Structure 1
Amino acid sequence: MKTFVVGAFAALMLAGGASAQEAPKQLNFGIISTESSAALSKSFEPMLKDLEKAVGVPVKAFFAQDYAGVIEAMRFKKVDLAWYGNKSAMEAVDRASGEVFAQTTKPDGTKGYYPLIITNKDRSDINDLKDVLDCSKGYNFGNGDVNSTSGNLVPSYYVFALNNVDPNNCYKRVVTGNHEGNAMAAANNQVDIATNNTESMDRLQITRPEARAKIKEVWRSPLIPSDPLVWRSDLAPEMKAKVLAFFLGYGRLGTPEEVTRARDILKTTSDGWGVFAPSSNAQLYPIRQLELFKSKTKMQNDDKMAADEKAKKIAEIDAKLAELDKAMASTPNM
């Protein structure tokens, strides 16, 4: 691991040796709004303080009301690096010159999580996907942020697109909230069903165990890659090297006391993390597939589109999916 960190540092320095890009005098770390900014600030503060010491400049947390706010902040260089979900990371890469450099893990080394549909545990009428898709019941649905992987993209495809159901036509009311808000709404019977994920449920068990006890899971997706860390691609190479060395060494390198302290901090960050793993934009390939599959399914079910136009657009999507298949086949560990 030490060899990897040193090697990564050297590669970044060589790649950026001729660059005139100056290292920033402050780093702004974007944090997506999975719960209240106060709770997130408290959760991330110890790790960001250690990052600050490692890179030698102040590190400030940046919050926005929704995921798009963090993406746009990176686009306009108000955010230098950020914790995203996979869908929002994809948007940051495509629209804000972002670049994935690391990936969160769980304390047991797991590199993934499961999007969920949840409800109140006392709801005897909602127990599985068939109940979720029963449009005759007039349910209220708590959906996630449009840029959320688990709160929106994954259920949009696996739950709704594959079953030819439009939530806006199926449910009496559709409201949008963050993971914490949706969980609390389900626990308090303010919505009938809501999107969420296993990471958020783990976090809720720590922060509000009485609410977690009121929630049951009624649908679980396939495994989704755990959250990426993304920096602006134009961040100074010297700073990139320092940031990368910090995250890949955090909880791995140092004295036994330093390693234990860092791992204890990670366990209380967000929903409870383990050490970070190196990553790249290739992590987003499965998410890009989901987006394309969702678009293709929607198009196939569009009875108003002319047949020739539909065939052309579906062929374009199939070509992009084929390109992704090749990219995934040539990428190790995909």
Structure 2
Amino acid sequence: MLRRTFLTTAAVLLAGTVLSGTAHAQLKEINFGIISTESSSNLKTIWEPFLADMEKQTGKKINAFFAPDYAGVIEGMRFNKVQIAWYGNASAIQAVDRAEGEVFVQTTAKDGSPGYWSLLLVHKDSPINSLQDVLAAPGKYTFGNGDPNSTSGFLVPSFYVFGQNNIDPRKHFSRMVTGSHEVNALAVANKQVDVATNNTENLERLQKTQPAKAAELKSIWKSPLIPSDPIVWRKDLSDADKKTLKTFFMTYGTQTSGKSADQLGKETKVLTDLQWGAFKESSNRQLIPIRQLALFRDKIKLEGDANMAADEKAKKIAEIDAKLADLNKQMGS
């Protein structure tokens, strides 16, 4: 049986370099970062078969890298302790901007949908039945917010729920805590918080892993579509390693020459357990709409800041407008 090495942030960052090779040389060993959307034990269960196939088909030793938060995986990539990782779009922006990352493929939903949706969850017995119920009751409810680097758990609700309604969640709720998607969902199910962020993919996962808890939840808000998650590699990987990795992703779970029906079925099952269909080619361009979203959120926050001097506010807003104009040009190019 394949023996897999599961790495934590501390183990990798303190133990020193565990890889064979240097930048631009082919690697014998690769660390794969997995963001903390739920408990590591659950993630290991669904990722083990995929990483085992990746190891077999690329001929490289693949180590799973887990961290207690999204930032741990980003920092792992920044210091070249993670060479490839699964991110959400918001955390991928941080990896691209700060950690030499580059988007090269994108996941797809197993049902063929082009993405997923952010949610606000409450307990099924809660008197809260709509977003308006939450917005109309400052100081009344407790809130479970997502990881600051999460697209669906933090960025999307920050803009659509709070930014567009000129609300600071730190002031609006009687208490606010931060946690992973799973932690927040369970906090709502256990009536530890009144409302929390989540997403359609994680809620579906919870319905399988803890169906009794999932049955205690109801959704009161659904966001616009969020692009499917990117897979990011360090852009200083050798061309040979990039070719090997991209070939693996682009052919995994698809019918290719020489692939038996049995192997295709097994790969499809692995992807289904990850809630994915086959991968598709992508690039950093997929992050542009999320970058725009973050800038719009920041602009709204600035516009509502009554304590900032008018000239300073105008300068900062102009800077944001310039960045938005540049992103619009990139979208059109």
State whether TM-score is above 0.5: yes
SS in 1 for 2:38: coil
Aligned counterpart in structure 2 of residue 177 of structure 1, from 176, 179, 187:
179
Q: For residue 262 of structure 2, give the secondary structure of its aligned residue in structure 1.
A: helix
Cα shift at 1:173: 0.6
Q: More deviation in 284-293 or 205-214?
A: 205-214
Counterparts of residues 46-61 of structure 1 (less than 5 Å): 46-61=49-64
Determine if contact 1:161/1:294 at 8 Å carries over to the other structure.
yes
The total of aligned residue pairs comes to 309
Deviation per residue, 1:182-215 (Å, 9 max, x gap):
1111111110000000010111111111111111
| Alignment map for 1:19-38 (pairs within 5 Å) | 21-38=24-41
- The match for 1:14 is none
Q: Structure 1, residues 9-30: CA drift from partner, whole Å, max 9, x if none?
A: xxxxxxxxxx982111201000
Answer whether contact 1:119 1:126 (CA < 8 A) is retained: yes
Q: Does 2:205 align with 1:203?
A: yes
Mapping 1:181-196, distance limit 5 Å: 181-196=183-198
Answer whether contact 1:104 1:111 (CA < 8 A) is retained: no
* Letter in structure 2 aligned against 1:111: P
Q: In 2, Cα distance between the equivalents of 1:227 and 1:97?
A: 18
Give 1:98's match in structure 2, choosing from 98, 101, 106.
101
The higher-RCO structure (CA 8 Å, 6+ apart) is 1
The offset of 1:152, in angstroms, is 0.4
- Give 1:267's match in structure 2, choosing from 252, 272, 280: 272
Q: 2:112 aligns with which of 109, 112, 115?
A: 109
1:313 aligns with 2:316: yes
Correspondence for 1:242: 244
Unaligned runs of 5+ in 2: 1-21
**Preserved contact between residue 71 and residue 88 of structure 1 (Cα < 8 Å):** yes
**Stretches of structure 1 lacking an aligned partner (at least 5 in a row):** 1-18
Equivalent in the alignment of 1:258:
263
Regions of 4+ moved over 4 Å: none
- What is the distance in 2 between the residues matched to 1:136 and 1:91? 32
Over aligned residues, Cα RMSD in angstroms? 1.2
**Given the superposition, is the C-alpha separation of residues 184 and 225 from structure 1 closer, same or farther in structure 2, using an over 3 Å criterion?**
same
Select the residue among 286, 295, 307 that pairs with 1:292.
295
Q: 1:220 aligns with which of 222, 237, 242?
A: 222
Q: Conserved in 2, the CA contact under 8 Å of 1:75 and 1:92?
A: yes
Residue 277 (str. 1) matches residue 283 (str. 2): no
Task: Report the CA distance between 1:57 and its aligned residue.
Answer: 1.4
Q: Which of 328, 331, 334 lines up with 2:331 in the alignment? A: 328
* CA distance in 1 between partners of 2:134 and 2:84 (Å): 37
Quote the residue 1:8 is aligned against. Answer: none
- How far does residue 241 in structure 1 lie from its aligned partner after superposition? 0.6
Q: Quick check: 321-330 or 178-187, which moved more?
A: 321-330
